[in-house]
A = this chain, B = another copy of it.
Amino acid sequence: MAKKKLHNDPTEYVSEMLEGFAAANPSHVRRVDETDIVVRADAPVKGKVGVVTGGGSGHEPMHAGYVGKGMLDGAAAGAVFTSPSATDMQELIEVCDGGAGVLAVVKNYEGDIMNFQTASDLAADTEYEQVIVDDDISVSEAEDRTGRRGVAGTVFVHKIAGAKAAQGASLSEVAATAEKAIDNIASMGVALSSCITPEKGEPTVDLSADEIELGIGIHGEPGVERTEHQSADDITERITTDVVKDLDLAMGDEVVAMVNGLGATTQSELYIVARELNRILDGKSIAVHDIWVGEYCTSLDMAGCSISLLRLDDELRELLNYPVETPAVTIAEP
């Protein structure tokens, strides 16, 4: 059954969405003319490392929602579930270069990596580094992360790298701290229903009324297990156990958690998951510094959620709490 959506010509989906986004957030962002690039209203920030990202659309508020003071300097949006072009990424890098270089936060997808690599070659006058986020534990063991995708945990990397840059760190320092964050993040998701892309108008994945898929990717990539639907507590326990194991978390560790809605799941359900997650971590004597609950990295209108954990140390905790003002995340000065 085709699902009704609020859109016009599906081929204009990304462009119209970005036009509305820019109109709603003029104090935070501006759209670079005739592109699908969104940058800070005051970009480039002179003397500050620029932190940028990019990727396919369909994961809103990722990526443009994280553009603003204390987080990203800019983001390039591709078509739905499609990498932005290398020339857009090049323009992104150049527009966000305030003279201290640019760090790109890249999710571990072949197209994104290839196009950012080409873009950085084209933007030859900009000092450039990149980090690759591979937080999805579903598809391989902790020892071999080759096939691991970048998912919702990437938002923590945006937050940490953005704060480090805002504090005046150098390009290599921002990159090193981002790498440290990546090494301490793990995520896993569950789908209760498929997403439906605007152009196709039909489910991407065939899930029956009683089935769920654990470990599904944010574009509907196959997960680790398809199973009968379970209670929120059982699902939360399964995912949390795997994530805790992957990070080798132990009594006395401290984490920030994220319960991320994949698009069509209500906030109330996410809080029911957060409740059980908090209980499980508490039972293991793992300190929960904070729980982010909401839509951070969606898969269009997929129902389901993902859980991400980031193990904190003093530096990461301070950067996580650092004030930020973006359309999707605001943390006021204490």
- Could you list which residues of chain A lie within 8 angstroms of chain B, going by C-beta atoms? 1-8, 13-14, 16-21, 23-24, 57-58, 60-61, 65, 192-193, 209-210, 212, 229, 231-233, 235, 259, 263-276, 278, 288, 290-293, 295, 298, 300-301, 303-305, 323, 325, 330-333
22 contacts between A and B (CB under 8 A): A2-B209, A3-B303, A5-B269, A6-B265, A6-B269, A18-B271, A20-B270, A20-B274, A20-B276, A21-B271, A23-B275, A24-B278, A24-B290, A24-B293, A60-B266, A263-B266, A264-B303, A266-B300, A267-B295, A325-B332, A330-B330, A332-B333
Instruction: Please measure, in the bound complex, the distance between the C-alpha atom of A293 and the C-alpha atom of B19, giving whole angstroms.
Output: 13
Q: Would you give the shortest CB distance from A159 to chain B, in whole angstroms?
A: 14
Residue in chain B with minimal CB distance to A12: B272
- For residue A292, which residues in chain B have a CB less than 8 angstroms away from its CB? 24
Q: Are B330 and A333 in contact (CB under 8 A)?
A: no
Q: Are B8 and A267 in contact (CB under 8 A)?
A: no
Instruction: Please measure, in the bound complex, the distance between the C-alpha atom of A303 and the C-alpha atom of B5, giving whole angstroms.
Output: 8
- For residue A19, which residues in chain B have a CB less than 8 angstroms away from its CB? 271, 275
Q: Are B278 and A4 in contact (CB under 8 A)?
A: no
- For residue A330, which residues in chain B have a CB less than 8 angstroms away from its CB? 330-332
The 8 Å CB contact of A193, one of B4, B7, B14, B305, is B4
Number of copies: 2
Q: Are A268 and B57 in contact (CB under 8 A)?
A: yes
Q: Are B272 and A16 in contact (CB under 8 A)?
A: yes
- For residue A295, which residues in chain B have a CB less than 8 angstroms away from its CB? 267
Residue in chain B with minimal CB distance to A212: B4
- For residue A293, which residues in chain B have a CB less than 8 angstroms away from its CB? 20-21, 24
Residue in chain B with minimal CB distance to A299: B266
| Known A4-B209, A8-B232; contact A24-B274, beta-carbon cutoff 8 A | yes
Q: Would you give the shortest CB distance from A15 to chain B, in whole angstroms?
A: 9
Q: Would you give the shortest CB distance from A52 to chain B, in whole angstroms?
A: 20
Residue in chain B with minimal CB distance to A292: B24
Q: Are B272 and A6 in contact (CB under 8 A)?
A: yes
Q: Which 4 A-B pairs have CB atoms at the shortest separation, nearest pair first?
A: A20-B275, A20-B271, A20-B274, A6-B269
- For residue A5, which residues in chain B have a CB less than 8 angstroms away from its CB? 192, 232, 265-266, 269
Q: Are B266 and A301 in contact (CB under 8 A)?
A: yes
Instruction: Please measure, in the bound complex, the distance between the C-alpha atom of A291 and the C-alpha atom of B24, giving whole angstroms.
Output: 5
- For residue A233, which residues in chain B have a CB less than 8 angstroms away from its CB? 8
Q: Are A4 and B275 in contact (CB under 8 A)?
A: no
Instruction: Please measure, in the bound complex, the distance between the C-alpha atom of A13 and the C-alpha atom of B57, giving whole angstroms.
Output: 33
